[in-house]
Chains A and B, each alone.
Chain A
């Protein structure tokens, strides 16, 4: 069995936390530039220019892209032939978050006692960790800090199957419409369809990890994505909600089989500060 030291995991998670918060992905930058070229609203253009300029300043490594460096969501793909040595894997990930948020001057935005005292944990732990056991002898770690403003604009609905494709489209458009300027448009809309309530929200979030604007491999789903995107960009919300045609950079849909009686769906909105970085160890 291939051995991986927990220390390596900690150091890599710390590095990914910092890199995610300072360097916007090339896919996001390309989508923003494309939007800038097609946005008709002068205010919208000015906003997109400032967002691009912000990414340039952040990439110098002194100031993070956004002050809200999020609750840290970690997606872990653990090869079944990997042996983790030297300690507890989850502890190693939390230690990496602690280290990354300290060394990267990232904001600690996590509170314990959520419905009462709301006490800041002071090191941004605990991260939310999603683990998948996969074939092979590698460990893939994706760190995706998620800001509160866009996470708060999340929706779940248990549809009757009769609602069908159109029901989903209308509902997603309505969700984006009522979110308005809150999630810092332009946004990326993650949609989960199918599964159970837990599964549908998870795939909606995972949909946000796909390179921005890359269509789903299933043409039927890709077509649905394109149709929702077109509708969303007719809402007029525009960059920062100040009016325009670029409300969303992309709509990413993921599906999962579901019960004969159900059609759960979830929307998880990602702001333009779409931060995630990954490594394969």
Chain B
């Protein structure tokens, strides 16, 4: 199994070479937001306001870290379940977001929006939060600090491990993996 190294921001060229099931190591800047931050971002867009960061080419990681110990950029930092962000995701893809990292299935509207706007969905390993934290080199809260663990953050990551779940060709790694190992009866 090969591993593809990618850097952010994501270009169309990078996205075109990614296929469902590929292992990737992500390096660069990524953004972090979960339920409450998504609600606020979409409310901002609806009100005609700017987002706290320029989403074009960027990746959002669905995550709410545990508190950082002194001397560490962040605490444990594994993915949260993505379906809760499904109602908001298409709106962010529309304004140029190119990647999402989480865990679990996406809805059909999100998958269709990914194909339409050329974006990918990655899964990080849920519960491998201490391991993932070691790939995060810097973290800073950039908006909504009052949301605590749910604040919007910017991270600098090096070789952040993830798997491509949904590519721009309509494939889904969950469906493919399950079909391969499913036995009837």
Interface residues in chain A, defined as those with a beta carbon under 8 Å from any beta carbon in chain B: 40-43, 46-47, 50-51, 53-54, 57-58, 62-69, 105-109, 118, 120, 122, 148-149, 152, 180-182, 184, 231, 234-238, 240-245, 271-273
Query: What interface size band does chain B fall in?
Result: 35 or more
Q: How far does the Cβ of A244 sit from chain B's closest Cβ, in whole Å?
A: 5
Determine if B180 and A236 form an interchain contact, defined as CB atoms under 8 angstroms apart. Answer: yes
Quick check: which of B42-50, B85-93, B112-120, B124-132 contacts chain A, the rest being far away?
Answer: B124-132
- Grouping DSSP codes into helix (H, G, I), strand (E, B) and loop, the B interface class, with mixed when no group exceeds half, is loop
Q: How far is B129's CA from A62's CA once the two chains are assembled, in angstroms?
A: 12
Q: Given known contacts A62-B69, A234-B182, is B129 in contact with A67 (CB within 8 Å)?
A: yes
| Residue in A41, A65, A66 whose beta carbon sits within 8 Å of that of B177 in the complex | A41
Q: Given known contacts A43-B1, A57-B130, is B105 in contact with A107 (CB within 8 Å)?
A: no
| Residue in B68, B173, B177, B183 whose beta carbon sits within 8 Å of that of A105 in the complex | B68
Q: How far is B140's CA from A195's CA once the two chains are assembled, in angstroms?
A: 50
| Residue in A50, A122, A236 whose beta carbon sits within 8 Å of that of B131 in the complex | A50
| Residue in A58, A69, A242, A271 whose beta carbon sits within 8 Å of that of B123 in the complex | A242
- Grouping DSSP codes into helix (H, G, I), strand (E, B) and loop, the A interface class, with mixed when no group exceeds half, is loop
Q: How far does the Cβ of A150 sit from chain B's closest Cβ, in whole Å?
A: 9
Residue of B nearest to A149 (CB): B81
Which chain A residues border B183 with CB–CB below 8 Å? Answer: 234, 236
Interface residues in chain B, defined as those with a beta carbon under 8 Å from any beta carbon in chain A: 1, 21, 23, 36, 63-69, 72, 75-78, 80-81, 83, 103-105, 123, 125-131, 133-134, 148-149, 161, 163, 173-174, 176-185
Q: How far is B82's CA from A152's CA once the two chains are assembled, in angstroms?
A: 13
Determine if A63 and B182 form an interchain contact, defined as CB atoms under 8 angstroms apart. Answer: no
Which chain A residues border B77 with CB–CB below 8 Å? Answer: 67
Q: Given known contacts A51-B127, A105-B68, A105-B69, is B180 in contact with A66 (CB within 8 Å)?
A: no
Q: How far does the Cβ of B124 sit from chain A's closest Cβ, in whole Å?
A: 9
Determine if A69 and B178 form an interchain contact, defined as CB atoms under 8 angstroms apart. Answer: no
Q: How far is B72's CA from A108's CA once the two chains are assembled, in angstroms?
A: 18
Q: How far does the Cβ of A211 sit from chain B's closest Cβ, in whole Å?
A: 19
Determine if A271 and B126 form an interchain contact, defined as CB atoms under 8 angstroms apart. Answer: yes
Which chain B residues border A242 with CB–CB below 8 Å? Answer: 21, 123, 163, 173-174, 177
Q: How far is B83's CA from A39's CA once the two chains are assembled, in angstroms?
A: 27
Q: A107-B66, A182-B83, A241-B123 are in contact. List 18 more A-B contacts (CB 8 A).
A: A43-B177, A50-B131, A57-B130, A57-B134, A65-B76, A66-B76, A66-B129, A67-B63, A68-B64, A68-B78, A105-B67, A105-B69, A149-B80, A152-B81, A181-B174, A240-B126, A240-B163, A272-B127
